[in-house]
Amino acid sequence: MKIVIDKDIPFSDSMFAGRAEVVTAPGEKISPELVKTADVLIVRSPTRVDERLLAGSSVAFVGTATSGFDHVDRAYLGRRGIAFAHAPGCNADSVAEYVVAALLEIGERFHVRLRGTTIGIVGAGHVGRRVARKARALGMTVLLNDPPLAAASGGAGFLDLGDLMDADFVSLHVPLTKSGPHPTHHLFDRRRIASMRPGSFLLNTARGGVVETAALAGALRSGGLPGAVLDVWEGEPSVDPEAVELASIATAHIAGYSSDGKLRGAMMIYEAVCDRAGWEKTWTAPPDALPPPARPEFTVDNSRTDEQEVLRSLVASRYAIMRDDAELRKIIRLPQDERARYFVGLRNRYPPRREFSATTVACNRAGDSLSRAFSELGFSVRGPRIPSGKHKAKT
């Protein structure tokens, strides 16, 4: 068996060692010539998998170590009888943590107290559900829209999209689809964006094409929307520099790029390939597969009264979202013919980033609302240490 795999997938060169001929390559360099004699192709989102890539090849299985799969022409795979697998939810915590960091940064910059505000979440799948939980931990009221899930559940707990337009924040977590009963391409077009409450914020960590770029840019220029958070872009890796400049926070499609999420995605596709080939699942990631967090424990004085500032400081110390913003903004000054290469480079060179669960928060007081918020956001929480020689009395 011959496996062609994106070299930036963790352990791409070792997880199938001894079982198959393994060829690794950068995702953007995976070509028809490279996959012509391959049996298995494993990619990430930079590789477009379609007839142009696979025509005349021997590929019988395609896996993508990502939760989304709009870079894969599944209809073509179906016509060719090529099996397919992806990694749903592998980076959901990473994306949800990005949204938390963005909300707290917006709160700081625009002097918004998040507690008591409303967030409309469009798409309540793996990511949307986690965003909802973390938003509630910030004291926000959550509104959910997801027509497919609403139909499956009888509508309980879900609202029509129009009912979310009065929210203070609207966060998008849907796949990009252009057909079917609920297409999402330009779901937020000029009309939809104009219906959002003046003063509200739009966050898009789904796919660039879910939002009409020109319409959003117009709303930001006019002040109809005071700001937007954009991690995904129409036409990426070629991005609109004006949209980057207008966005409050702009990043290079890295919301889901935690080291934890990448490893989960790789493991899920490894297991799918083993199932397909009938192999025993003998490979496991080594103990040092994930880099240690720069600061594994963070001590917090949760007697401080400004809970939002405590949370913002903690989250910013774990994930510096504005550093990613600053890196993408450099694209504005580049010549047009260099922008796409720079965007791809930001993703390929993205530094290790651990999820919140890798950090323990040591509180001086356990069980209060702030320590509960730490836990709901995903941190490990430890209460005050009992001094040596002092023990809880037996009852």
- Catalytic residues, by residue number, are 207, 236, 253
| Cis peptide bond upstream of 291, omega within 30 | no
Strand order in the sheet with 249-250: 141-145, 118-122, 169-172, 201-204, 227-230, 249-250
Length of the chain: 395
Nearest to 258 by CA among 35, 101, 129: 101
